[in-house]
Amino acid sequence: MDTHQNRFLLAGLGLLILLSQPLSGCSDESASPSRAVAVPSKAIATPSTPQTVKEQLMTMKTPTNIPDLLENLRDVHKSRIAFDEAFYTEENIKKITAAEKIRLDKKENEIEVGAINFRSIVGDLKADEREGVSVRILLRIKPDGKKSVLINASFSRTYPSLYYLIIEKLIGQPWQQRMPEPMGSNQIYREPTDFYGNREMEYSRQDGNVVESGDFIFNPAGLLSSLSLYTEYTEEHP
C-alpha cells in the first residue's frame, strides 16, 4: 500500500471516530432520537403562544362591515382566546361582533354564545328587512379536561363582500374542495350562476397538540352562506 493510500485510510478512520462522538454541549439523549427525553404532556407548546383575552382584544376593533366581522372571527379562532372562560362576557362579544343582541348560556362544562342583529354593519335596510346574519360560539370541556371551540356564522342574505375570492384571501389558509353532502328529498337544487357557485371548501391541520379545521359553504352565486371554525386540544388544555 503506497503513501497516498495510507493517508486516505487514516483520514477516513479519523472521520469515523469523530462522528461517533457526542456533539460538544449535547447529551447522549439529544444526539440519539431513540433516547430523547420525554416532555410532560402539559409542557407541549404550540409555535404561537396563545394570547390573553385582554391582549388579543386590544388588537381588534369593533366591526363596521361584514369583512371586519369575519376578520375578528378568524382572529378569535387563530389566537385561541375562546378557550379562556374570561372571554365570554357580553362586552367582549359585542366588541368582536358589533351584534346588538347577545345571548350567553353558561353551564358546568359548556359555554354558548349567540349573537344576532347586525344592522350596524350591513348597511341600509328597510325597517321590515332582516340582515340575515348570525354568529354562534361554543366552548366545551370534556370530563378528561380536553377542550374544544366551535365558531359558526351564517348569512341568509347575499352580500358582495362574501364572494369566494375575498373569503379565500381573508382566511389565508390552504383549503380544498369537498364533495357536497347528499341532498334530502325536500331540498331543491339550484344551478350555480358563478364559477365558484355551490362550492364547499375545507381545511384541516395539526399544530402541536392542537387540531384546527374550517368548513365553508358558498351559494350558487359564489357568496359565503355559512362557515364553521373548529379547534380542539388533543391533550388536556393547560
Q: Which three cell numbers stand for residue 217?
A: 359553504
Spatial distance between the Cα atoms of 189 and 181, rounded to a whole number of angstroms: 12
Q: What does pLDDT average to over the chain?
A: 79
**If DSSP codes are grouped into helix, strand and coil, which group holds residue 207?**
strand
Lowest-pLDDT range of 62-71, 113-122, 128-137, 180-189: 180-189
CA 233 from centroid of its chain's CA atoms: 12
Residue from 213, 216, 209, 206 nearest 235 by CA: 209
**If DSSP codes are grouped into helix, strand and coil, which group holds residue 76?**
helix
pLDDT of residue 32: 32
Q: For residues 131 and 157, is the Cβ–Cβ distance under 8 A?
A: yes
For residue 24, name the pLDDT band (cuts at 50, 70, 90).
very low
Beta bridge partners of 116: 101
Beta bridge partners of 139: 111, 149
Angle 110-112-115 from CA coordinates, rounded to 5°:
175
At 90-107, the pLDDT tens digits run 999 999 999 999 999 999
pLDDT of residue 223 exceeding 80: yes
pLDDT of residue 52: 87
Q: Is 233 exposed, middle or buried (0-12, 13-18, 19+ CB in 10 A)?
A: buried
Q: Is 27 exposed, middle or buried (0-12, 13-18, 19+ CB in 10 A)?
A: exposed
Mean of pLDDT values over 38-54? 46
* Max CA pair span of the chain: 100
pLDDT of residue 186: 66
pLDDT of residue 124 exceeding 90: no
Cβ-proximal residues to 233 (8 Å cutoff; 6+ apart), any chain:
83, 146, 147, 148, 209, 210
